[in-house]
């Protein structure tokens, strides 16, 4: 958008007045709220009343849409593709759980790390606006229903229970896995790909919390003084993994024009990841469920820093 220019005095109208000519100046207004004027036609002075680099671009071009000429059909196809990809990844970890290729706890955390992050990679396939956000939220929304049905015993699915539960109890799906699916669904529907809050919430939940458990089990000999169930290595790994993954997705979405990368956002991601790691290390996270506390912390702190 071209900058608006307003001339308080016209050069042509006062050229005939020599005494006023040295004081000739042009007044310019450039968004956002940047003022400049030229004095005596040779000197330029700029005044910035308020300027802030926008962090999101909700009207960004849908660079990866399948059928830009038909957004409804394109979003429907995107929902089918992203749902199929997420289901394929889930099936992969179900097979590894059946065959016992990994320890059950490790297999569960691999599901925890991968599903949300892989699904978020599919977000550029959708159109901009609420329709794309809602259709994207359908896939994790279906998983909310699945977790409720399986966790309540109405639907028998031993593969899902084995790949997502700690102790093989189907009722566990009503806690962590249900909170996990709910987090991703809400991030899609309410924050979407133009918001750093969505990135921070999902990345700290998936990568941060996932690597905290994996690293903590392998190198967690030194426990936290205020929580013997958590280790220093696990908390550090969570902060680092959540932060680096958040920055990576910031650049990923900025490539498509959905968000504008900046050092300010990077610093915000650091604060959110540190806060999430701190809350995850507290005893309250063990009592409630860290999938819930990490999510709430990421959203609350993210709302303050972004």
How would you write the pLDDT of the chain (306 residues) with one tens digit per residue?
444 433 433 444 444 444 444 434 343 433 443 444 344 444 444 433 333 444 555 444 545 778 888 888 999 999 999 999 998 998 899 888 888 888 888 988 999 999 999 999 999 999 988 889 999 999 899 999 999 999 998 998 888 888 787 777 888 899 889 999 999 999 999 999 999 999 999 999 999 999 999 999 999 889 999 999 899 999 999 999 999 999 999 999 999 999 999 999 999 999 999 999 999 999 988 888 889 999 999 999 999 999
Query: Rounded distance, CA 110 to CA 251, Å?
Result: 24
The confidence score (pLDDT) of residue 5 equals 39
In this prediction, residue 81 carries a pLDDT of 94
Give a three-class secondary structure readout of the chain.
Answer: CCCEEECCCCHHHHCCCCCCHHHCEEEEEECCCEEEEEECCCEEEEEECCCCCCCECCCCCCCCCCCCCCHHHHHHHHHHHHHHHHHHHHHHHHHHHHHCCCCHHHHHHHHHHHHHHHHHHCHHHCCCCHHHHHHHHHHHHHHHHHHHHHHCCCCCCHHHHHHHCCCCCHHHHHCHHHHHHHHHHHHHHHHCCCCHHHHHHHHHHHHHHHHHHHHHHHHCCCEECCEEEEEHHHHHHHHHHHHHHHHHHHHHHHHCCCECCCHHHHHHHHHHHHHHHHHHHCHHHHHHCHHHHHHHHHHHHHHHHC
3-state secondary structure at position 58: coil
The secondary element (H helix, E strand) that includes residue 47 is strand 43-48
Sign of CA dihedral 176, 181, 182, 187: positive
């Amino acid at each position: 958008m071209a900058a608006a220019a307003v001339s308080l005095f016209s050069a042509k109208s006062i050229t005939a007045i020599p005494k006023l000519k040295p004081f000739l100046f042009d007044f310019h207004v450039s968004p956002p709220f940047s003022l400049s004027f030229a004095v005596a036609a040779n000197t330029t002075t700029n005044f910035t009343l308020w300027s802030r680099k926008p962090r999101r671009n909700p009207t960004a071009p849908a660079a990866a849409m399948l059928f830009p000429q038909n957004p409804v059909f394109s979003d429907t196809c995107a929902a089918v593709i992203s749902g199929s990809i997420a289901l394929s990844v889930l099936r992969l970890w179900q097979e590894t759980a059946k065959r016992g290729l990994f320890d059950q706890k490790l297999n569960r955390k691999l599901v925890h790390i991968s599903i949300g992050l892989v699904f978020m990679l599919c977000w550029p396939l959708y159109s901009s606006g609420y329709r794309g956000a809602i259709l994207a939220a359908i896939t994790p929304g279906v998983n909310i229903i699945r977790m409720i049905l399986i966790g309540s015993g109405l639907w028998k699915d031993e593969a899902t229970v084995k790949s997502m539960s700690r102790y093989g109890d189907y009722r566990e799906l009503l806690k962590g896995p249900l909170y996990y699916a709910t987090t991703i669904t809400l991030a899609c529907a309410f924050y979407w790909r133009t918001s750093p809050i969505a990135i921070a919430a999902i990345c700290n939940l998936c990568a941060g919390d996932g690597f905290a458990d994996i690293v903590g089990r392998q190198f967690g000999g030194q426990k936290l003084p205020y929580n013997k169930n958590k280790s220093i290595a696990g908390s550090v790994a969570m902060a680092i993994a959540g932060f680096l993954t958040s920055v990576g997705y910031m650049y990923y979405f900025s490539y498509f024009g959905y968000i504008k990368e900046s050092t300010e956002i990077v610093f915000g991601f650091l604060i959110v990841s540190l806060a999430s790691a701190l809350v995850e290390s507290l005893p309250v996270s063990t009592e409630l469920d860290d999938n819930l506390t990490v999510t709430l912390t990421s959203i609350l702190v993210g709302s303050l820093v972004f």
